[in-house]
Amino acid sequence: MTERTDAVRPRRVRDGVGFFRRFLASPGSVGAVLPSSRYLARALVGRLDTLQPGELVVEYGPGTGPATAVIRDLLPPGVRYLGIELDPSFHELLVRRFPTMDFHHGSAADIVDILAERGLPAPTRILSGLPFASLPSDVQTAVVDGIVGSLRPDDGEFRTFQYVHAYGLKAARRFRLLMRERFATFERVGPIVRNVPPAFVLRYSHPRRDEA
């Protein structure tokens, strides 16, 4: 495929092709064949208008940035953002595409250290695109520990999505079990059908820090 052909394709198609290539390179950590639709991205992000200046929104696994674009458009003035992306190509693309936003190249499992190094506060929201249904259990556990160890205790909320077809998989159930043990409040929204494939949005709040 020539550079010229790439340049005349709409961004959505270019992102789809690039995303699929990254999936072929790292199927487990990319965990999807296409980026999320704007409908799923909006459902994942929800409302951000209650956040106050100085508060922090963290996004896990932004990929090509469908949810990042929604966050950018909804983020109230003074509210901070940090995206954490493991894949170097996605990280590079995000830095180019969203020049006013901050991105860390690394693993969401290291959130406690990443926030400390950057002098950032406990996040009010963690919005995740991580493919928990295809992550190894040690990574899953480390990410869950990091969420519980970093989220604001009283009003912090973690949101993620899980594909309907993968909802019953052992790794997906394991993740939800871990989260139910560590959070007092859980809500499932959807399925969001205007996404390939359809997905549920999962919301968790009131982390039980004492069990961390």
Ligand X SMILES: C[S@@+](CC[C@H](N)C(=O)[O-])C[C@H]1O[C@@H](n2cnc3c(N)ncnc32)[C@H](O)[C@@H]1O
Q: Which residues bind ligand X (CB under 6 A)?
A: 29-32, 35-36, 60-63, 66-67, 84-87, 90, 107-109, 129-131, 139
Residue 36 or 150: the one with the smaller Cβ distance to ligand X is 36
CA pair distance 39, 189, nearest whole angstrom: 13
DSSP 3-state of 103: strand
Residue 198 or 206: the one with the smaller Cβ distance to ligand X is 198
Q: Residue 100: CB partners within 8 Å, gap ≥ 6? A: 72
The DSSP secondary-structure symbol of 9 reads S
Q: Compute the least distance from the CB of residue 29 to ligand X, in Å.
A: 4
Cis ω before 136 (30° cut-off from 0): no
Residue 95 or 206: the one with the smaller Cβ distance to ligand X is 95
Task: Please provide the DSSP assignment of 155-192 as one string.
Answer: T-EEEEEEEGGGTTSHHHHHHHHHHHHHEEEEEEEEEE
Q: Compute the least distance from the CB of residue 126 to ligand X, in Å.
A: 12
Q: Compute the least distance from the CB of residue 143 to ligand X, in Å.
A: 6
CA pair distance 183, 80, nearest whole angstrom: 24
Residue 90 or 183: the one with the smaller Cβ distance to ligand X is 90
Look up residue 125 and give its amino acid.
R
- The answer to whether 29 and 87 have CB atoms below 8 angstroms apart is yes
Look up residue 182 and give its amino acid.
R
Q: Compute the least distance from the CB of residue 41 to ligand X, in Å.
A: 7
Q: Compute the least distance from the CB of residue 142 to ligand X, in Å.
A: 8
Residue 131 or 207: the one with the smaller Cβ distance to ligand X is 131
